[in-house]
Amino acid sequence: MICCRESLKTVSVRRKVMRYEAKDFLATASPDALRKIARARELTREYYFSAYGDTRRRREILQELLGGIGDNVMIDTPFHCDYGKNIFLGNNVVINMNCTLVDCAPIYIGSQVLIASNVQIYTASHPVLPQERLVTEWEEGKGTFFRTYALPIEIEDHVWIGGGCVLLPGVTIGKGSVIGAGSVVTHSIPAGCVAVGNPCRVIRRCLLYTSPSPRD
């Protein structure tokens, strides 16, 4: 028991404590936020039950749901998001089945990107310290009893995200990198890397992909 207390004390001293201001937190239970979330739920449900071969209608749904969408985008179902309008996709993007994008802040996904099944992308988080995370004297019907903040996530061009990966708030995956299946990305990964693990770490550098020059 003494060892446990000493370990916890050491961790608390070494940990960098984040400081927050009221403006850092999101009004996730405001009428406007709830309306946007409800509409996103309706659209993702409609997308789920749409005919797989009705590519025209499925694209119309995605155009209304998302903040931006390029050409040749394939999103398999089920697909989950909070708002949808904070998600921006480039050209030639594949998002496989059962992916979750918690887009309380913008999620930018470049072109020629592969995202495998069961990937979770979280822009939202909560303060670690209970006194910062929880709202004192909270009353039902007046917002949430907890505080939420969000940081944007960017996945650059030519990236491959393996199955079951988790991307945490504020990270960037550099151009041409590969994230191995099951990885938990807690920090940004530079361009041209293979990275794996929990927490995700670079294990190999690789040559960056460059598009061939157009022929004369």
DSSP 80-128: EES-STTEEE-SSEEE-TTEEEE-SS-EEE-SSEEE-TT-EEE-EE--S
Q: Is the dihedral of CA 141, 145, 151, 155 positive or negative?
A: negative
Q: Is the dihedral of CA 61, 64, 66, 68 positive or negative?
A: positive
Domain 22-205 has CATH 1.10.287.3510: no
Report the amino acid identity of residue 32: D
* pLDDT recorded at residue 139: 86
The SS3 assignment for 133 reads helix
- Please give the structure tokens belonging to residue 65: 């749901």
- Please give the structure tokens belonging to residue 57: 């209608």
- What values do phi and psi take at 146, rounded to 5? -135, 160
* pLDDT recorded at residue 143: 87
Per DSSP, helices labelled H in 66-181 are 130-133
Cα three-residue angle 164-167-170, rounded to 5 degrees: 175
* pLDDT recorded at residue 17: 58
Distance CA 96, CA 80 (A): 11
- What values do phi and psi take at 58, rounded to 5? -65, -35
Report the amino acid identity of residue 6: E
Report the amino acid identity of residue 63: Q
Return all residues near 145 (Cβ < 8 A) that are at least 6 apart: 134, 135, 138
Comparing CA positions, the residue from 108, 92, 115, 195 lying closest to residue 162 is: 115
Domain boundaries, the chain: 22-205
pLDDT by residue, tens only, the chain of 216 residues: 334 343 333 333 334 556 778 888 999 999 999 999 999 999 999 999 999 999 999 999 999 999 999 999 999 999 999 999 999 999 999 999 999 999 999 999 999 999 999 999 999 999 999 999 999 888 888 889 999 999 999 999 999 999 999 999 999 999 999 999 999 999 999 999 999 999 999 999 976 666 554 443
Q: Is the dihedral of CA 99, 185, 68, 24 positive or negative?
A: positive
Catalytic residue IDs: 126
